[in-house]
Structure formats: C-alpha cells, structure tokens
Amino acid sequence: MNKNKISTLTTIAFAASLSLAACGGGGGGGGSTAASGSNTSTSGSGNTGTTSATTGNVTTPQYANNSAQQALFNTINAQRTQCGFPALTENTLLDKSSQAHADYMGQNGGTITDTEVSGNPGFTGVDYAARATAVGYPASTVFMVGESGGYYTNATLTEAAYGAGIANSLAGSVYHVDLFILPVTQIGIGWNETTFDNYPEAHAAITAANLQPMTGSLPLMFPCDGATGVRYKVTGETPTPPNTNGTYGPAISVAANSSDVVVLTSGTLTDTSGNVIVLQLLNSTNDPNNLTEKYEARAYSATPLTANTKYSVSLAGTIDGTPFSRTGSFTTGS
C-alpha cells in the first residue's frame, strides 16, 4: 500500500425515541451507522505501507475497566477474532496520538473530523500519520487506518455503552468497517466527552496500523457464521454506497492480505422463510468512490433487513484468479 486510509464515522442516537437523526447523523434503535469524510488521505503523508518494528505495544491492555476505550477495544477484537482475523494489540503511542485528536474534536465544537487545522486549539498534526509521527510512531513507513466517531443520546449511558455503540456502528457499515477486517496488528484509542443539552457528547479517535500477513483460508468473511446482534439497517454513511437510497442492509465483507486481489461475483441472503435477497457487490474495480482496496470486497442488501431474523449467506468470487465460495449464517439484532 502507498497511501493511508482515513475514515470518519459520526453516530448520533436519540434513545428516547430510538429514531434516526438528520444532518448526516444516524444511529439508535434501527442499528444504523452514519459516516462522513473520506477513506483516503488528502494530506499526502506518503506512507509506503511497509512494516517495521515499533515500540509502544503492551501485552496486557491498559484501558481502564468499564471505560469507553476498553469497550471499543474489546468489541473490535471480539468480532475480529470470532471471524478469524488477528486480534489487535494496544499501542500506547497510537493511544497518545488518538487521544490528542479526540481532545482536538472536543475543543473545537465537537465536529467529527479526520483532519486538524493548524492554529486551532489542540492542534497536533494535520492527519493521522502526522499526529502519530509527533508522538514518535514511525508513521512514514507503516500502513495506517484512522476512524473518528461521535455519539450522542438524550439519555446518560454507561461509558462502556458509548464505546460499544461506536464500535458496532463501524462494524455494520460499507465504507467504515476496516478496523474489523484489515490485516493490521496495532490499535490506539482516544476518547473525549463534552456536554450538549445537559447530556454527554462523546468523541472517539481510533488509529490502527502495521500490516502483517494473515494465515488461514483466505479471504475471511465478516460477519462470519454464527454472528449475532448484526445491525439490520445502516443509514447516513458518506459516501453513500452504490445502488442505495442511503438506507440499506449491513455489509458482508471479505478480506485477504494486501498482496491479494479479491473479487466478488455473486452474493445472496436467504431468510428462514426462504425469501432470497440478491446482494449488491462492491469491488475495487466497480467502486465509484474508489475506496475499496483490491484485497477486500463487500456485499450488501440495497434495502434494510428485518430485525431479529436469521439469514443464510452465500458468496462467490475469486482470489488471485482462483474461485472461492463462502457460506454461513448470522442473526440480526433489534
């Protein structure tokens, strides 16, 4: 890889009515995600994508018990490892750079953004790579992916609920699921809270890095066989995935190593009543937004699924020209 992948997620939930917010926000009872920004860096950081030894890794996570950071970390890793993706290791340098960006968002009106503006309060670097470099991480030679997210509800939740809410919003999206499927090994999480209308407004910044080859039967599928609580509806993601009106079903992703080429050629979901949904397919070659990497692909329903329903998945495609198929089932949440 010769570029950073930069993403922004904005999730706004209104717990009292479990409705979806407008103005680019979304979330809540429908199991939705909202996103803004771009998956590609516009700052020209020039990462080569090669790996190197880095300091700051800790064998035992240091996030405080029941904190939002711990919930984000545990949710991401639980869903990754369930589907065969390697667990991520906490990196304290990436924690530091992510925390700086979360604080920046809190100090600048709570706007969810990937980039920072020099001269603004809390500025530490224009993009994820610059902020990582500022704390001593070798960002110029290591592939990185960044996500920034916000969560607001007109009720006071536990810190763990805020963190899990942002993580699950990312997991259901088409363009913002990378933290769950990329072959990276390190993660850092920052968290900041302000107050809006007497309720907490949370701001999260997450940075993952360091590509390493995966083993096993590639490509891996996410969500995988046996997954439960999968979001049945996604809304408000920017850019809007092709062939949708902005509200659609969760993405089923396949991913391999960065040296591979993965192409989906067919995909269906079948519910317990035998109803078949033909899925939209998103590959690097047909993505109008040019945000899908060659070693990953997505399949998704153009319309929302049904809550609390079991679906059987059938995918077919090629990896490096060799045919593959993936099957399994998952159950949506409420």
CATH number at residue 232: 2.60.40.3780
Pairing of strands 310-319, 322-332: antiparallel
Helix pair angle (68-82, 159-171), 10° resolution: 40
Q: Are residues 152 and 255 in the same domain?
A: no
- Rounded-to-integer distance, Cα 166 and Cα 27, Å: 9
Q: Are residues 66 and 170 in the same domain?
A: yes
Please check whether residue 40 lies inside any domain of the structure.
no
Please check whether residue 228 lies inside any domain of the structure.
yes
State which of 154, 185, 212 marks the end of a domain: 212
Please give the structure tokens belonging to residue 8.
């922004």
Query: Who has greater pLDDT, 248 or 39?
Result: 248
Instruction: Give per-residue pLDDT as tens, 87-118.
Output: 999 999 999 999 999 999 999 999 888 899 99
Residues 6 or more apart whose CB falls under 8 angstroms from that of 9 comprise 33, 34, 35, 36, 112, 147, 148, 149, 150, 166, 169, 170, 173, 176
* C-alpha distance from residue 48 to each of 25, 120, 137, 142, 260 (Å): 34, 29, 14, 7, 17
Please check whether residue 148 lies inside any domain of the structure.
yes
Instruction: Give per-residue pLDDT as tens, 293-325.
Output: 999 999 999 999 999 999 999 999 999 999 999
Number of domains in the chain: 2
State which of 149, 178, 212 marks the end of a domain: 212
Q: Are residues 156 and 115 in the same domain?
A: yes
User: What b-and-e string marks burial along 133-154, b requiring 16 or more CB atoms within 10 Å of the CB?
Assistant: bebebbbeebbbbbbbbbbbbe
- Is a pLDDT exceeding 70 seen at residue 40? no
Pairing of strands 144-152, 5-8: parallel
Q: Are residues 233 and 309 in the same domain?
A: yes
Where residue 68 sits, what CATH number does that domain have? 3.40.33.10
Instruction: Give per-residue pLDDT as tens, 265-300.
Output: 999 999 999 999 999 999 999 999 998 999 999 999
pLDDT number for residue 147: 87
Q: Are residues 123 and 175 in the same domain?
A: yes
- Rounded-to-integer distance, Cα 23 and Cα 34, Å: 10
Please report which confidence band the pLDDT of residue 182 belongs to, taking 50, 70 and 90 as the band edges. very high
Please check whether residue 142 lies inside any domain of the structure.
yes
Please check whether residue 230 lies inside any domain of the structure.
yes
Instruction: Examine residue 138 and say whether the peptide bond preceding it is cis (omega within 30 degrees of 0).
Output: no
State which of 192, 212, 232 marks the end of a domain: 212
Q: Are residues 64 and 85 in the same domain?
A: yes
Please report which confidence band the pLDDT of residue 84 belongs to, taking 50, 70 and 90 as the band edges. very high
Q: Are residues 63 and 131 in the same domain?
A: yes
> If you average pLDDT over residues 249-255, what whole number do you get?
97
Please report which confidence band the pLDDT of residue 53 belongs to, taking 50, 70 and 90 as the band edges. low
- Rounded-to-integer distance, Cα 123 and Cα 101, Å: 8
Q: Are residues 207 and 58 in the same domain?
A: yes
Query: Who has greater pLDDT, 239 or 108?
Result: 108
Please check whether residue 25 lies inside any domain of the structure.
no
- Rounded-to-integer distance, Cα 166 and Cα 150, Å: 7
Please check whether residue 32 lies inside any domain of the structure.
no
Q: Which domain holds residue 228?
A: 216-333
Q: Are residues 131 and 181 in the same domain?
A: yes
> CA nearest 96: which of 52, 60, 62?
62
Please check whether residue 255 is in contact with residue 295, taking contact to mean a CB–CB distance below 8 angstroms. Answer: yes
Please check whether residue 231 lies inside any domain of the structure.
yes
Please check whether residue 200 is in contact with residue 191, taking contact to mean a CB–CB distance below 8 angstroms. Answer: no
* pTM, 2 dp: 0.84
Region for 296 from its dihedrals, namely left if φ exceeds 0, alpha if ψ lies in -120 to 50, beta otherwise: beta
Q: Are residues 156 and 233 in the same domain?
A: no
Q: Are residues 178 and 292 in the same domain?
A: no
Average pLDDT score, the chain: 85
Q: Are residues 71 and 200 in the same domain?
A: yes
Please give the structure tokens belonging to residue 112.
């969810």
